[in-house]
Amino acid sequence: MNFPSNIFNSHSRQDGDFFLGITNILGFKPKNLKIFKKAFLHRSANKKDRKGNPMNYERLEFLGDAMLGTIISRYLYTEVPEGDEGYLTKMRSKIVSREHLNELGKDLNLIKFVESRIPKTHFGDNIHGNVFEALVGAIYLDRGYKYCEKFIHERVIVPYVDIEQLEGKVISYKSLVIEWCQKQKKTFNYNVYEDTGNDVLKHFAVKLSISDIVVAKARATSKKKAEERASKRAYFALQDKISRA
């Protein structure tokens, strides 16, 4: 791929490195580098534009989330003509799940571009999916729908989307555990409490009890994630019983 001969003259060396790195990930050259730099700007950097508006990746993340959902929806609509609305919605949820987006962000090593005042080792897993969505939003603003669709097809659909595998993919272990408890008429309780400990970021711990017996424990940076992790551990601990239900 040929790069502009004046790239290191028109930008700082840091911008030049960023341009090369982003171009390798995108597979095409960005036009407006400022948009892509914003896609990796964490709110802790506390930067503002000339009008005093906060500058970070969160607005681009919002836009990228919408574009990702639209393009994946169109793909599923075309590829699975027999799928009804419920099926298509469920499959889209599996493809754009937070867990899957985090995997995509990690595989592309997007966190290396993040500008933040917080050490990167202190970020939770969601930072990977957040900046991936922000990157998609930046592509849309910089190059439009066709380039956005091309990127998602090459970076998401081709390497990761297998319809048959996704049909068996679990979206929420918590839902499975709760459904089983309700069918078996068993009481369940998620006891969540703040557990900061020595961590810089706030953590939450959860104890999942079924019929007043603690069956799983977990910690995470949010209550929702802690409950899901505990549910996953409980699911595998009770898998034989749940599969027979």
Q: Which residues are catalytic?
A: 65, 133
Q: Phi and psi (nearest 5°) for 62? A: -60, -45
CA 223 to chain centre: 17
Cross-strand bridge partners of residue 128 = none
- Alpha-carbon distance of 219 to 159, in angstroms, equals 31
Cα–Cα dist 22/43, whole Å: 21
d(CA 102, CA 144): 24
Side chain identity at 181, as an amino acid letter? Answer: C
Q: Are 192 and 220 in contact (CB under 8 A)?
A: no
CA distance 142 to 122: 31
Q: 């709110």: which residue's tokens?
A: 43
